């Protein structure tokens, strides 16, 4: 049994490494293989990114680099083994020119070796742990990193009389980044971290940790939870009366996610948070994007949608530059791209393959009966602080 498994793995490795080389070169069609959580706990990420990909294709056509583009979307249910298997099938059977999507860090990490072995550019549109881009030289990111958001918010906290904090994060990669980079920066500037709390990624229960927060009596609670958990967290925060107990809530923008923000109610109003995208971002490019996205999908785009939309731009422009070729030529054409995203100006750093972008400080406000993240400050052209060590 074990020998058979080893044989299958060895054969697959050969297929991944050699079976696909140049398949895109002979064909008039290039395929993009997108792996996303369309079901399960992270399904809103899949729904947002798929909506954005469809919008990009509707607006820009199905041709790039002189070839017809075909997008194949697969549902991994945010199970990393499934992500890896689906990515492998897309490379070996469908001979995709690029992989894209990746809703959570473990899914991106599980797929990195496939990208490396097959020399297939892999565009991470959602997952945001700093180390992902170091897992394969073929990974390029269009989302953000948790250190970007956490450092930006820590600097704001230090300047705004927040001295004692408790941190609360999801217990996996992006949570570890958020906790470390927030705590390190806050303490560097004379703040104090009273306690570091974590909740499980799957089916978290916030009651026990919120009781600990109440007992610790910090000036502020700093929170990172992955997109999709914000509304449940806010509900419990209010139910336990923490909003009335003088404990200020501050967060990464994942918690005040545009996908759920309008369902959160008044508890969210006034929450200061840091992120790279708000549907309320005041630019002509964003207004056009939001209007078109809402018309096509009947819901508000969040930061995941923008990661997907910009990821499609990255692939299309790179295909134009490589004249439809994949592999190293396509990867090279992704590095160093600069463009105007709905979030503002962005750069794909040629050295790190990670995104350089403005990180905004925002406050949740009610306007015309709707909740929005209103930007009031920014750290300009921020690189991933996770890469500077």
CA distance 78 to 82: 8
Residue closer to ligand PHB, measured from CB, 88 or 105? 105
Query: Shortest gap between Cβ of 132 and ligand PHB (angstroms)?
Result: 7
For ligand PHB, which stretch binds (CB under 6 A), given 126-134, 182-190, 215-223, 267-275? 126-134
Query: Shortest gap between Cβ of 227 and ligand PHB (angstroms)?
Result: 4
- Number of Cα atoms under 13 Å in the Cβ half of residue 282: 8
Phi first, then psi: what are they for 145, rounded to 5°? -125, 150
Q: Provide the 3-class DSSP secondary structure of residue 296.
A: helix
Considering only residues 99 to 118 of the shown chain, the ones binding ligand PHB according to CB under 6 A are 104-105
Please give the size of the binding site for ligand PHB, defined by CB under 6 A.
9
For ligand PHB, which stretch binds (CB under 6 A), given 124-132, 258-266, 360-368, 376-384? 124-132
For ligand PHB, which stretch binds (CB under 6 A), given 48-56, 79-87, 123-131, 231-239? 123-131
CA distance 18 to 38: 30
| DSSP line for 64-98 | ETTEEEEEEEEE-TT-HHHHHHHHHHHHHTS--SE
Determine whether 284 is exposed, middle or buried from the number of CB atoms within 10 Å of its CB (0-12, 13-18, 19+): exposed
Considering only residues 285 to 304 of the shown chain, the ones binding ligand PHB according to CB under 6 A are none
- Give the pair of three-digit tokens for residue 248: 């200020």
Query: Shortest gap between Cβ of 127 and ligand PHB (angstroms)?
Result: 4
* Torsion angle defined by CA atoms of residues 127, 132, 136 and 138, in that order, rounded to the nearest 10 degrees: 40
Q: Comparing C-alpha atoms, which of 357, 381, 227, 360 is closest to residue 282?
A: 360
- Give the pair of three-digit tokens for residue 80: 């990393």
CA dist 278 → 273, 298, 356 (Å): 11, 17, 17
Query: Shortest gap between Cβ of 131 and ligand PHB (angstroms)?
Result: 10
Query: Shortest gap between Cβ of 26 and ligand PHB (angstroms)?
Result: 36
Site string for ligand PHB, 133-172 (x = CB under 6 A): ----------------------------------------
Residue closer to ligand PHB, measured from CB, 24 or 102? 102
Does residue 227 interact with ligand PHB by CB under 6 A?
A: yes
Query: Shortest gap between Cβ of 257 and ligand PHB (angstroms)?
Result: 7
CA distance 363 to 99: 35
Does residue 354 interact with ligand PHB by CB under 6 A?
A: no
Site string for ligand PHB, 238-277 (x = CB under 6 A): ----------------x-----------------------
Task: Compute the Cα dihedral for 263, 264, 269, 271 and give only its sign.
Answer: negative
Task: Please name the helix (run of DSSP H) or strand (run of DSSP E) that holds residue 388, with its range, or none.
Answer: none
Residue closer to ligand PHB, measured from CB, 128 or 221? 128
For ligand PHB, which stretch binds (CB under 6 A), given 60-68, 122-130, 346-354, 373-381? 122-130
CA distance 18 to 92: 9
Query: Shortest gap between Cβ of 293 and ligand PHB (angstroms)?
Result: 18
Residues that bind ligand PHB (CB under 6 A): 104-105, 127-129, 174, 226-227, 254
């Amino acid at each position: 049994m074990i020998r058979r498994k080893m044989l299958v793995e060895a054969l697959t490795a050969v297929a991944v490494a050699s079976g696909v080389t140049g398949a895109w070169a002979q064909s008039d069609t290039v395929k993009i293989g997108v792996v996303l959580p369309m079901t399960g706990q992270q399904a809103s990420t899949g729904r947002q990114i798929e909506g954005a990909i469809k919008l990009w294709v509707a607006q820009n056509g199905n041709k790039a680099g002189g070839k017809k583009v075909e997008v194949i979307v697969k549902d991994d249910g945010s199970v990393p083994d499934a992500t890896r298997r689906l990515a492998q099938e897309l490379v070996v059977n469908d001979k995709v020119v690029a992989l894209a999507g990746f809703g959570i860090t473990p899914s991106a990490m599980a797929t990195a070796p496939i990208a490396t072995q097959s020399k297939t550019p892999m565009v991470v549109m959602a997952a945001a742990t700093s180390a992902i881009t170091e897992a394969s030289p073929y990974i390029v990111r269009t989302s953000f990193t948790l250190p970007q958001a956490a450092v930006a918010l820590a600097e704001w906290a230090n300047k705004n009389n927040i001295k004692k904090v408790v941190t609360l994060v999801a217990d996996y990669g992006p949570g570890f980044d958020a906790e470390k980079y927030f705590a390190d920066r806050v303490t560097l500037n004379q703040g104090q971290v009273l306690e570091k709390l974590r909740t499980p990624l799957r089916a978290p229960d916030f009651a026990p940790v919120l009781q600990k927060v109440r007992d610790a009596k910090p000036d502020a609670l700093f929170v990172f939870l992955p997109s999709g958990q914000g509304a449940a967290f806010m509900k419990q925060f209010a139910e336990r009366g923490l909003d009335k107990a003088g404990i200020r809530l501050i967060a990464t923008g994942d918690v005040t996610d545009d996908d759920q923000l309008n369902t959160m109610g008044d508890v969210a109003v006034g929450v200061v948070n840091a992120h790279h995208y708000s549907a309320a971002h005041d630019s002509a490019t964003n207004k056009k994007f939001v209007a078109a996205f809402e018309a096509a999908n009947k819901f508000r785009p969040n930061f995941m949608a923008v990661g997907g939309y910009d990821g499609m731009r990255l692939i299309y422009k790179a295909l134009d530059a490589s004249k439809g070729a994949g592999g190293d030529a396509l990867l090279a054409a992704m590095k160093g791209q600069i463009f105007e995203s709905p979030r503002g100006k962005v750069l794909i750093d040629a050295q790190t393959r990670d995104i350089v972008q403005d990180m905004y400080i925002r406050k949740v406000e009610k306007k015309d009966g709707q909740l929005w993240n209103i930007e009031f400050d920014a750290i300009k052209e921020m690189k991933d602080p996770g890469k500077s060590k």
